[in-house]
Chains A and B, each alone.
Chain A
Amino acid sequence: MKNPLKNNRFLVMAALFGLALILAPWLVANSFQLRVVMLFMIYALVAMGLNILVGLAGLVSLGQAGIYALGAYAVAVLATSYGWGFFPAMLAAIVLTTIFGIALAYPTVRVRGVYLAVVTIAFGMIVQNVAIDWRSVTGGTLGISNVPRVDFGFGELGTDGLYVLIAVVVFLAFLVHHNVMYSRFGRSMRAVSQSEVAARSLGIDPTARRVFAFVISAVYAGVAGGLYAYLNRYVNPDTFSFSDSIRFLLMVILGGSGTTLGPIVGAGVLTWIPNVLQAFGKWQLFAYGALLAVVIFFLPKGIVGTIEHWIGVVRNRTNTRARTPEAWPKPSDEANALLRVEGKHHHGAVLATSGLTIRFGGLAAVSEVDVSIERATVHAIIGPNGAGKTTLLNALSGFYKPTEGEVLLRGHPIGGTRSDRIARDGLTRTFQNTELFADMTLEENVLVAFDSRYRGGIATAMARLPGHFGEERLMRARARMLLDYVGLADYADEIARNLAFGHQRRLEIARALALSPEVLLLDEPAAGLTHAEIDDLIALIRDLKALGITIVLVEHHVDMIMAVSDHVTVLDYGQVIASGTPDQVQDDPRVVEAYFGTAAVNPNEQGAQ
């Protein structure tokens, strides 16, 4: 996944796959074997779609056979009972499965993981049993037989003709599958699955990405189902059981989820294996289970994933160039041009709250807070542990909805607005416990944040329309520039999780800056940093302020607050107890009391959460 522009390897892969599809009819011994190849291609189609869902979006579906069934039945019914031709019937299958893809994505708004798996299992069961019970349409357990052959108006397609048709569809699907994976859409789907909060703080709507993943996987399965109806010319409910859903998922895992070739390899192995396992006689099913167990235990990344892993290990061994972090910030004209805020929009406070209250159950974590943050200043929010600082930050950035009161960005109310919208509107943040996309490279981490800057849409990415590569190159250059700005250019192709902690903080800041924010909220950026790193951080904050960026700083590090802040607001038990310049606040007796307590305060309450 390192550099989609260097797609020579993919071109070779695609050429080989295309060649294999062309040669296959000459390599098989008889038409039965050719049918097995066609079945494999259909399964590969389902698996590629599922790979987008599982490998990119991190959502597990155990009901894919249900979607596959919808496609198969739609085509079988329309072609057989209503005499529809290939294209209208397939189009109907695509529309139907799209609708169900959206419907299945809806639960992800609320449930994830094993809960989502349960929803998809139930969905698969419902489809199969509707097929059994809706006899007037589906033919019940007997199913629909005599599905007409494909006919484009110049005679019915025979086995060879159907082969060509399926091969063309699968090859195109393979290209689109790759193009989605290596585009801003694939990137942001992976980002959402690795850290949803970070993705939201960078302006990405997780729901939209999940719906997109579900729809792609559903359309792939629907088209596969339609092709299956034409291939088999007979559909019945037995083909679409829970164990078929499991097999589709296993194809993805076995081949290597999240890889380009994985689903094809997985589909190939699982289509071909039963023929091999026939040698085991009655132990065939047992051997099948044993094989799966072996793969899951010993090749958890799947076949392709494991191979890629070892290629990567060998490469790293040969590439032992030492990488050195550079000092930061390293301003450049390009970086300044990208980050400079033109203060033309609005006069007065850029960010403010009025009577802001956040309550969890009966407990008010923030109560009646009024703050007013001036443009291009550094505004620190301090207070003892549990004072409500992070809660306030979460409310400002849209992660919490105010119970009462309002948040105003440039004078416009944003309380209750989704965090990704607020981010696109110019307010972003970093997190107390860094939230990186841990399994993506540094460059990809920053590129995710550029997502809302792309003008090319889904079609541009899928079909590599003109403009795609140019825009991708531009964003990459900008990402490199920001990594350079924080002194991490040398690490651009490293995986984020391998970074030292201080560097992770830098990356998180570079990523937030990619949005060219007007307001940047930093949640304890100095925590865990060395003295030298804190000095760099101070220089960065001053630098950003000079560019017109408003900084809201939640911090414990007193020296740093004194050094950079223009204004300090002190919270205790969710309320503002002091507000003013650093010097004013430092001498405020209430502040001293909040931090150190006085004789009148019960010492047990010190530092209470």
Chain B
Amino acid sequence: MSAYIQYLLSGMVIGAIYAIVALGFYIMWSAVRAVNFAHGDTLMIGAVISVALMWSGIPLYLGIPIAIAVAAVFGVIIERIAVRPLNHGSSSIGWMLSTIAIGLMIEAFVTITFGSDPRSLPSPLMDEPIIFMGAGVFMHELLIPVAAIGLLFALDGFYKHTMLGRGMRAVALNPMAAGLMGIDVKRVASISFAVAAALGAVAGILAAPIVQVSATMGLLLGLKGFLVAIIAGMSNARGVVIVGFAYGILERFVEGFGSTAAREVVGFSVMILLLLIFPKGIFSPKEVQKV
């Protein structure tokens, strides 16, 4: 029994990370129907800068906001130089390749400057595990799912109750009409990528104390976050978070009863199956095909 609880708890922790990453993909996709394919690197940037600043003596309460701000700026730059010039219609893959290329550069740069040895970010909430029905969990870990849900509600509120958020929703539904109504579609794109990158950095910083911080930490997290967002349907923030949690929990159970490799095999197989059953994503409204 305690094993089940353990898997459930740690699955929620990793699932919350996926959920925050996937929310970033969802925000980018809504704005421009394209994403930073190397979004995993914004996680890495957030975590690495936080660690680097801490090692150079800057306190975390200053270092973390700086790291998030840097990531947000990075997001804006990526959108401007790598996505916007290469995003022509639904069949273009230029943005996919350009963001991958920039991701490779960033990872190489971080490996050189930060070193290839993984480091850790200490959290004050990781001293004593809380024992809950025989399962151990750190306070910091519990914080992550709470943060994911908090961010979801914040995003929801932003979309529903601010002028800018409403504009962003309008762009998501019909960029052309939104543009004709006077919404600055390009500005919405920049802001969306900034918000997405900031969320990515938050995910990276939250994950830093429990995974090792290194130049390549974002690769798999980013990839899975993207899969989660696609499976959920890219049209519904709540759906994205739900699928993120579900995927994390599934992974932990398979890993617990099998192996790390089995986790990936089962996880990715389930993804493919879900995509075949729900080609537009689980939480997407049905669309009628028009000729």
List chain A positions with a Cβ less than 8 A from chain B.
58, 60, 106-107, 110-111, 113-115, 117-119, 121-123, 125-126, 128-130, 132-133, 193, 197, 242, 246, 249-250, 253, 282-286, 288-290, 292-293, 296-297, 300, 360-361, 390, 394, 399-400, 431
Contacts and interface: CB of A to CB of B under 8 A. Distances in A.
Nearest to B85: A297
Query: Which are the 6 A-B pairs with shortest beta-carbon distances?
Result: A289-B104, A133-B261, A289-B105, A285-B108, A286-B108, A122-B268
Contacts of A289: 101-108
B272 A286 contact: no
15 contacts: A60-B96, A111-B279, A113-B91, A115-B230, A115-B275, A193-B91, A285-B104, A285-B107, A288-B104, A292-B101, A293-B82, A293-B105, A297-B85, A300-B94, A399-B291
Given A107-B272, A125-B264, A282-B112, A292 B288 contact: no
Contact of A253 (B97, B112, B279): B97
B38 to A, nearest CB: 10
Contacts of A400: 291
Chain A binding surface, main DSSP class = helix
B227 interface: yes
B100 A246 contact: yes
Nearest to B33: A114
B112 A118 contact: no
Contacts of B261: 129-130, 132-133
B259 interface: yes
Given A111-B275, A197-B291, A58 B91 contact: yes
Given A118-B227, A121-B227, A292 B97 contact: yes
Given A111-B279, A399-B291, A133 B98 contact: no
Chain B binding surface, main DSSP class = helix
B265 interface: yes
A118 B230 contact: yes
Contacts of B96: 60, 114, 117
B177 to A, nearest CB: 16
Given A289-B106, A293-B102, 6 more contacts: A111-B275, A250-B97, A286-B105, A292-B97, A399-B291, A400-B291
B281 to A, nearest CB: 8
A414 B285 CA distance: 30
A129 B291 contact: no
A288 B106 CA distance: 11
Contacts of A126: 264-265, 268-269, 272
Contacts of A110: 276, 279
A286 B275 contact: no
A290 B291 contact: no
B226 interface: yes
A400 B290 CA distance: 9
A273 B130 CA distance: 52
Contact of A122 (B94, B105, B271): B271
Nearest to A432: B291
Contacts of B103: 289
B272 A283 contact: no
B104 A129 contact: no
B152 interface: no
A457 to B, nearest CB: 29
Contacts of A242: 219, 223
Contacts of A121: 223, 227
Contacts of B98: 293, 296-297
A236 B227 CA distance: 26
Given A118-B230, A242-B223, A123 B97 contact: no
A193 B109 CA distance: 38
B224 to A, nearest CB: 9
A114 B101 contact: no
Interface residues of B, number: 42
Interface in B201-235: 219, 223, 226-227, 230
Nearest to A253: B97
Nearest to B106: A289
Contacts of A290: 101, 105
B162 interface: no
A511 to B, nearest CB: 17
Contacts of B107: 285, 289
B226 A292 contact: no
A9 B288 CA distance: 47
Contacts of A253: 97
Contact of B90 (A113, A132, A133, A285): A113
A298 to B, nearest CB: 11
Interface string B114-153: 0000000000000000000000000000000000000000
Given A58-B91, A107-B275, A133 B105 contact: no
Contact of B265 (A107, A115, A133, A285): A133
Contact of B288 (A107, A122, A284, A360): A360
Contacts of A250: 97
Contacts of B223: 121, 125, 242
A283 B102 contact: no
Nearest to A297: B98
Nearest to B219: A242
B104 A292 contact: yes
A265 B94 CA distance: 19
A111 B258 CA distance: 31
Given A119-B275, A296-B86, A125 B268 contact: yes
A122 B227 contact: yes
Contact of A293 (B101, B258, B275): B101
A399 B105 CA distance: 47
A431 B104 CA distance: 44
A242 to B, nearest CB: 7
Contacts of B104: 285-286, 288-289, 292
B102 A118 contact: no
Contacts of B105: 286, 289-290, 293
A132 B219 CA distance: 19
Contact of A296 (B101, B219, B259): B101
A106 to B, nearest CB: 8
A246 B223 CA distance: 13
Contacts of B265: 126, 129-130, 133
- Of B82, B93, B219, B276, the most chain A CB neighbours within 10 A belong to B93
A119 B103 CA distance: 21
A422 to B, nearest CB: 13
Contacts of B271: 118, 122
Interface string B275-291: 11001000000001001
Nearest to A435: B291
A106 B264 CA distance: 22
A394 B275 contact: no
A292 B177 CA distance: 35
